[in-house]
Chains A and B, each alone.
Chain A
Amino acid sequence: MSRPELGTTRLARRAGSPQQRGPASVGHEGAKTTPYGRPVLKEPVWTWEIPCYFYTGGLAGASAILAHLAEGQGNPQLARRGWAAALAGAGASPAFLIADLGKPARFFNMLRVLKVTSPMSVGTWILSASGVSIALAAVRAWTGLFPRAGRAGSAVAAALGGPLGTYTAALVADTAIPVWHEARHELPFVFAGSAAASAGALATAWTPAKHAGPARWATVGGAVVEVAATQLMEHRLGSVGEPYHEGPAGRLGMAAKAMTTAGAAAIALRGRRSRAAALAGAALVTAGSLCERWSVFKAGFQSAARPDDTVVPQRERIERGDTRGAVRRTSPNGRVDTDKASPAIVAHRD
């Protein structure tokens, strides 16, 4: 008797990689709270374009800020390259986002409303406005055309750079996925650090060392914040943060920390004098930043597939008395009243 092949189906995707569990089960192995270990939540449907966008969006936002500041400081060499990086990031971002849509031709439906309750809606408008203003600033920086529009674009792009580089953290935090939602206070700082490191690394690699001082500082500072904020996030998440210690998210996170740290050290120590060290450091920090975004992305999928991570913190909130939960055991005029968990939930799973 043969089981249906699951390797390529959506069912298999439900609970992480198909190798982790038996072919007949869609549940999460070792789960204690739900029968058959089935997840409570759905995994996201987002594909590889989204972590790439996290990177390019961060790159665009932080590069715009860096370029604008370099302009003000009379460092056109850095400013011009910063605007080019920002333009590349702002150009790639919508391509990734549209490619990920289930109906790419309907991208423009994003622009029929502005909803403050939807970080994706807010972010779409930030990205659109950033794209236009970055393009204006880049044209002025490279050709000198449209000087007044370019100056305005430069200021607007710099003002929107912060939100552009960090709103994606708000986007994933505003979901029911425990590892994202419970990290809502730290994730924006992880993404901000990662954005600064990405922009700094690209500018370091591309700008003559003499003019690249700010870029090196941005790389090293961003890398420190990225690694430290990630560390803090994992610590505060406690058991809900377990996806960061196993599977793809764990491996990517380790690679991110190693590469980001090594790259930042190379740039801090030798980046000014050695071209090779600057290039290698920039490549490592860029790869580290991409891995960090990918680690966060993957952790969300792993978290959704673990029913205990959804149920246990909710059950603990009820036990602590923080909330009554959604269950009521009495009629308004009734007598029976207990909101305590029944140990039978665990017991009847053998």
Chain B
Amino acid sequence: MGYSLPTTAWPSSYGEHARARKGFFTDTSVCIGCKACEVACKEWNDVPARNGAQPAYFTGESYDNTIDLGADTWRHVAFVEQRKALDVDDGMGMSLAEAAALEGMARSEGLATYQDGEGMRWLMASDVCKHCTHAACLEVCPTGSLFRTEFGTVVVQEDICNGCGYCVPACPFGVLDQRQDDGRVWKCTLCYDRLKDDKEPACAQACPTNSIQYGDLDELRERADERLQQLTDAGLEQARLYGADDQDGVGGFGAFFLLLDEPEAYHLPPDPVDTTRDLGGIYRATAAAAVALVAGLTAAVLGGRR
């Protein structure tokens, strides 16, 4: 067991206090959109209603009125209604009729996850902070409020955060946001307090279909590989893992997903990158501009004499 899948600060900075890296595997193929995770998260973490006293807001976009992750939403169940005309190619070289037949096969195997009658299907996915291996929010935080825990997760220390807001546009997933009446930034802690007591996070415990699975990250990855194989063997070839490898732009997610469409169909970026990966180039360009500024002003002072 162990300290596999290391990050910059974990396990190295914890010595003997380091614990196995924890994470989520969210298998959206069994998500039923019940939103128990959203409720459990709000209850346990005492997260206020969205936008304080603002009245209820209805998007008219399927059953998704939560809209996105933010300071007051640490789990967000995305509902995506996809309408397909019957003759539209679904991109896998299949007509929809063929796809429907395949899906019928999947159903007979006990794998049906959504309605597909009348050319419509629902995608449901419980989104959450990805707890990136290379977390841009943590890297850019100027106070050290965002830190890497002994479980390898990324947490905001609310007694340190001064609300500078840098992490908000730094996150490639748009996870973090400022709480308006409070001024600080809030996000999923992977239930840091529960982890310290060897309890699983509230959302995972509340999930009735085991769509949200919690555990040691290396074990979760193995489990996800098996699940992907099972689904593709059953003919559900849209299935894919998102964030399950170290090679992506954020070095792998601590909370990764099994999806049934491209990430952008769930409002997720297909190639998220930790912006600080390019920081060397940014600093070099800035240094060059600083030198140019001094050189230019020197020329001005020399040229503007008399």
Contacts and interface: CB of A to CB of B under 8 A. Distances in A.
A331 interface: yes
Given A73-B305, A166-B286, A102 B185 contact: yes
Given A163-B290, A221-B299, A334 B144 contact: no
A117 B170 CA distance: 12
B305 A214 contact: yes
A4 B262 CA distance: 33
Given A4-B55, A217-B299, A117 B276 contact: yes
Q: Which 3 A-B pairs have the closest CB atoms?
A: A102-B163, A102-B183, A162-B290
A38 B68 contact: yes
Of B145, B161, B169, the most chain A CB neighbours within 10 A belong to B169
A100 B262 CA distance: 38
**Chain A interface SS verdict (over half):** helix
Interface string A260-282: 00000000000000000000000
Interface stretch (A84-92, A106-114, A133-141, A242-250): A106-114
Contact of B278 (A100, A181, A348): A181
23 contacts: A9-B54, A40-B173, A41-B173, A42-B175, A62-B297, A69-B301, A100-B165, A101-B162, A101-B164, A102-B161, A102-B183, A174-B279, A175-B166, A176-B172, A188-B288, A214-B297, A214-B304, A217-B304, A311-B264, A326-B248, A327-B241, A330-B228, A350-B83
Contacts of A175: 136, 140, 166, 169-170, 275
Of A36, A163, A326, the most chain B CB neighbours within 10 A belong to A326
Interface string A47-66: 00000000000000110011
Contacts of B165: 44-46, 100, 102
Given A102-B178, A110-B143, A324-B248, A217 B303 contact: yes
The number of chain A residues touching the other chain, given as a range, is 35 or more
A77 interface: no
Contacts of B266: 35
Nearest to B140: A118
A222 interface: yes
Interface of B: 51, 54-61, 67-68, 70, 80-84, 88-92, 136, 139-145, 160-166, 168-178, 180, 182-185, 225-226, 228-229, 232, 237, 239-245, 247-250, 253, 259, 261-273, 275-276, 278-279, 281-283, 285-294, 296-301, 303-306
A82 to B, nearest CB: 10
Interface string A14-41: 0000000000111100000111101111
Contact of B184 (A102, A170, A324): A102
Contacts of A65: 293-294, 297
Contacts of B162: 101-104, 106-107, 109-110
B26 to A, nearest CB: 14
A127 B240 CA distance: 47
Interface stretch (A148-156, A251-259, A283-291, A315-323): A315-323
Contacts of A120: 140, 142, 164, 166
A119 B289 contact: no
B182 A102 contact: yes
A192 interface: yes
Given A44-B165, A326-B248, A326-B272, A169 B286 contact: yes
A319 to B, nearest CB: 10
A222 B288 CA distance: 15
A188 B286 contact: yes
A40 B268 contact: yes
Of A113, A181, A188, A336, the most chain B CB neighbours within 10 A belong to A188
Contacts of B88: 344, 347-348
A119 B139 CA distance: 10
Contact of A315 (B68, B267, B270, B288): B270
A11 B68 CA distance: 10
Interface string A160-178: 0111011101110111110
